[in-house]
Amino acid sequence: MDTDTSQKLIDLNHLFYQTFARPFSVTRQRLQPGVRRLLETIPVEASLLDLGCGNGELWRTLAARGQHGAYVGVDFSPGLLQAARELAVMSGDTGQARFLQADLTRPDWVAALTSSPVDAALAFAVLHHLPGTTRRARFLQQVRGLLAPHGRLYHSNWQFLNSERLRARIQPWELVGLTPDQVDTGDYLLDWRQGGYGLRYVHHFDQAELEKLAQTSGFCVLDTFLSDGECGRLSIYQTWEPFE
């Protein structure tokens, strides 16, 4: 994928999450079963970096279970960060959680962080919005550098092709001035219909692609499972650990 196409996809998603921050947040009022399953494996004293923290629902759940390790949430969307801060206040947070604005698609996003290495990095529904294998590998290598010894990365990626309803939301690339040969295999354009009509870019990973990406980025895959949705296969979850 060339640089211009990659930037066009990034700009498309920026526009989407800036325009639909509030209606999108309304649809994210509870954690998916797969996220809850992974959280059960993370000690309450662990320090956490929540990449693509969105509206803060993850932190609300963590706080309710007694999380007392440091927490930092990162997102590029001012609207979603505002929702996250509001939710934290409503949940009784006294300053334990920090929410920072940074664009994970840019190589300098780590400059926003001032915290020590973390025990766990969380990237739920994040990687599938990063266009191009080179950009994803760079991002993951940066995450690897933020982990404490024996730290782990927990992430999920949308498996929308497993849903007939969501497959019907796939739109032609020509709607955004692109052609199929300009994007990578597994790249899709999906529409949004709540609070208005929008379009966003999503990459559909298979397990083999994720395993190759882990190896390229210096990780080994510890666990993989499917969860979420009526079919129980709407997201793929993995736990990664850096190579020794």
So what's the pLDDT on residue 74? 93
Total domains in the fold of the chain: 1
pLDDT in tens, 15-44: 888 887 666 655 655 788 999 999 999 999
Asked whether residue 116 is domain-assigned, the answer is yes
Asked whether residue 101 is domain-assigned, the answer is yes
Asked whether residue 232 is domain-assigned, the answer is yes
So what's the pLDDT on residue 23? 60
What would the two tokens of residue 173 be?
């690339």
pLDDT in tens, 216-235: 999 999 999 999 988 899 99
Q: In Å, what is the CA distance from 2 to each residue of 9, 109, 132, 185, 216?
A: 11, 21, 9, 14, 20
**Of 124, 134, 129, 125, which is closest to residue 62 (Cα–Cα)?**
124
So what's the pLDDT on residue 25? 57
Domain that holds residue 125: 3-159+206-242
Asked whether residue 64 is domain-assigned, the answer is yes
pLDDT band at 79 (very low <50, low <70, confident <90, very high): confident
Burial label for 62, CB within 10 Å (0-12, 13-18, 19+), is buried
Asked whether residue 172 is domain-assigned, the answer is no
**Which stretches within the chain are classed as H helix?**
3-19, 21-26, 33-39, 57-64, 78-90, 133-146, 164-167, 207-217
The strand pair at 235-242 and 147-158 is best described as antiparallel
pTM: 0.92
Asked whether residue 184 is domain-assigned, the answer is no
Asked whether residue 192 is domain-assigned, the answer is no
Asked whether residue 107 is domain-assigned, the answer is yes
The domain that contains 29 carries what CATH number?
3.40.50.150
